[in-house]
Amino acid sequence: MKNIKLIVAYDGTNYHGFQEQKGTGLDTIQEVLEKALSKLTKREIKIIGAGRTDAGVHARGQVVNFKCDDWPIPLTKTALAVNALLPNDIAVLKAELVPLDFHARFSAISKTYCYRVYNERILDPFVARYALHEPRRLDVQAIDEACQYLIGEHDFKSFQSKGTPVKTTIRKLTQARADKEGKLVKFIFSANGFLYNMVRIMVGTLIQVGLLKIKPEALRDILEAKDRTKAGPTVPPQGLFLERVDY
């Protein structure tokens, strides 16, 4: 028995998220990957993904793993072989052999997401698929200040959408910052785990800080409230990227 780990990048625009949606007939990243892997190996492959990205969310460093009796392709050639069977908007970047107890989701110790905002009056058509458009000027320094309140171990209940119930809403955020790169503002977050829509609600709230509608220190109160209605809106999926997963 072998356990194979893949690093996968995808443009999520045309997919209904990562996770298989049985019987819906909608394309998901998981199903397209499983179909390619199964075709390549002539056996049924079921994969486990580190992060269940939502419809329209992208990934530069999604991690998946799967087990199989043996692996017929040299690992250095696996990415190319799988990619030949994948559409252009999904690519395997790397394949490696991992210990049998490696689990893409449960073994992860940290995930990093990036949310991109195009902060300019007129939206660039080549960025539209990969960023939220915010034509009003964002104060990146105020956003960065607000980010400081999010870093650390907190109950992030205010930053969670309704979804599958979770045991605890406490998460440890190890990185939260905003970088201005040309006309893009990049929000970067690392944590040991994220609640459902957590990044998209944090960004929706931080944008209100950037627009000077709320003060940076409001983030402390919003965290303490443990109340979704106190935080900002959930921003749309196209700006969100799963950047990397650490083990």
What is the nearest approach in angstroms of its own copies to the Cβ of residue 125?
5
Which CB atom, from 57 or from 218, has the smaller least distance to its own copies? 57
Give kind and range of the element (H or E) at residue 229. Answer: none
What is the nearest approach in angstroms of its own copies to the Cβ of residue 177?
22
Do residues 4 and 100 lie in contact, with contact meaning Cβ atoms separated by under 8 Å? no
Residue in 11, 27, 54, 227 annotated catalytic: 54
Which CB atom, from 23 or from 125, has the smaller least distance to its own copies? 125
Please give the structure tokens belonging to residue 21: 């949606």
Distance CA 151, CA 156 (A): 11
Q: Which residue has the tokens 């050639």?
A: 77
Which CB atom, from 79 or from 202, has the smaller least distance to its own copies? 79
What is the nearest approach in angstroms of its own copies to the Cβ of residue 22?
25
Using CB under 8 A as the criterion, which residues of the chain lie in contact with its own copies when the complex forms? 9-11, 58, 60, 79-80, 83, 88-93, 121-126, 128-130, 133
Distance CA 70, CA 97 (A): 11
Which CB atom, from 11 or from 20, has the smaller least distance to its own copies? 11
What is the nearest approach in angstroms of its own copies to the Cβ of residue 212?
22
For residue 207, which of 182, 239, 181 has the smallest C-alpha distance?
Answer: 239
- Catalytic (active site) residue 54: yes
What count of Cα atoms within 13 Å lies in the side-chain half-sphere of residue 70?
3
Query: Where in the sequence numbering do the catalytic residues fall?
Result: 54
